[in-house]
């Protein structure tokens, strides 16, 4: 029933949002600790992790889109109802998330990071060391696409005006600065509205 579907969607949403928070507080910290054994500059470490998060969401969204097309083509041959084809496709994907090739997404993320001019220069680090974090983020992002509406991370650019409703400032920020120097963690969005704030460093 529609009421049950809404309840299930709300329960899954709450679990996924909580998982996003846990990755931010725990697994991001673990990744920082790991990277600091290779790279002494904290800004570079934080830029790398932020890029990994954003690229993971992008790769998972692309994989979801391709997966959804394949499922829709397959189900359209035999679908009779009573639910709509779109709902049937969504139900199928939710029940068969294990069919998502997350390892392909992880490779895609690492490839993108290797050609990113802001973070690709450190020769002392192979981004494959972040595979565990990237895999967690890709799986989370893929699952977030099955929500109605889906969840996504905000797009951030260096030098943007600091937005208090979108970000927290890191402890080492200049709290009088009006502009974002760089991003530490992306904000989580639903239909253009921030539901979990991200983290940035502001400097003059």
133, 110: one domain: yes
Using the predicted structure, report yes or no on whether residue 1 has a pLDDT greater than 60: no
> Which residues are paired to 179 by β-bridges?
161
Using the predicted structure, report yes or no on whether residue 3 has a pLDDT greater than 60: no
pLDDT tens digits, 157-201: 999 999 999 999 999 999 999 999 999 999 999 999 999 999 999
100, 45: one domain: yes
Chain CA centroid to CA 199, Å: 14
146, 194: one domain: no
Q: How far is CA 35 from CA 30, 48, 167, 175, in A?
A: 9, 9, 24, 26
Q: In what order do the strands lie in the sheet with 167-169?
A: 167-169, 198-202, 180-185
100, 12: one domain: yes
174, 87: one domain: no
145, 56: one domain: yes
Using the predicted structure, report yes or no on whether residue 2 has a pLDDT greater than 60: no
18, 34: one domain: yes
Mean pLDDT of 92-115: 89
11, 54: one domain: yes
Cα separation of 22 and 65, whole Å? Answer: 26
- Look up the domain containing 32 and give its range: 2-150
141, 161: one domain: no
Helix (H, G, I), strand (E, B) or coil at 165: coil
pTM of the shown model: 0.89
93, 73: one domain: yes
139, 180: one domain: no
pLDDT tens digits, 59-102: 999 999 999 888 787 777 776 666 776 777 777 777 778 888 99
Instruction: Please tell me the predicted confidence (pLDDT) of residue 118.
Output: 86
Cα separation of 31 and 39, whole Å? Answer: 12
> What is the total count of domains within the chain?
2
């Amino acid at each position: 029933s529609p009421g049950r579907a809404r309840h299930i969607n709300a329960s899954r949403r709450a679990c996924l949002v909580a998982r996003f928070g846990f990755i931010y507080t725990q697994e991001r910290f673990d990744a920082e600790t790991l990277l600091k054994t290779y790279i002494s500059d904290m800004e570079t470490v934080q830029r790398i992790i932020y890029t990994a998060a954003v690229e993971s969401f992008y790769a998972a969204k692309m994989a979801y889109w391709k997966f959804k097309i394949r499922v829709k083509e397959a189900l359209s041959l035999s679908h009779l109802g009573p639910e709509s084809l779109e709902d049937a496709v969504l139900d199928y994907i939710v029940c068969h998330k294990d069919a998502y090739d997350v390892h392909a997404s992880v490779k895609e993320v690492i490839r993108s990071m290797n050609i990113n001019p802001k973070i690709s220069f450190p020769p002392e680090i192979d981004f494959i060391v972040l595979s565990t974090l990237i895999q967690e983020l890709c799986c989370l992002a893929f699952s977030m696409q099955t929500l109605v509406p889906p969840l996504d991370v905000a797009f951030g650019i260096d030098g943007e005006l600091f937005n208090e409703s979108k970000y927290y400032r890191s402890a080492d920020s200049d709290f009088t600065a009006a502009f974002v120097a760089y991003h530490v963690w992306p904000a989580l969005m639903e239909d253009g509205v921030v539901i979990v704030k991200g983290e940035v460093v502001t400097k003059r």
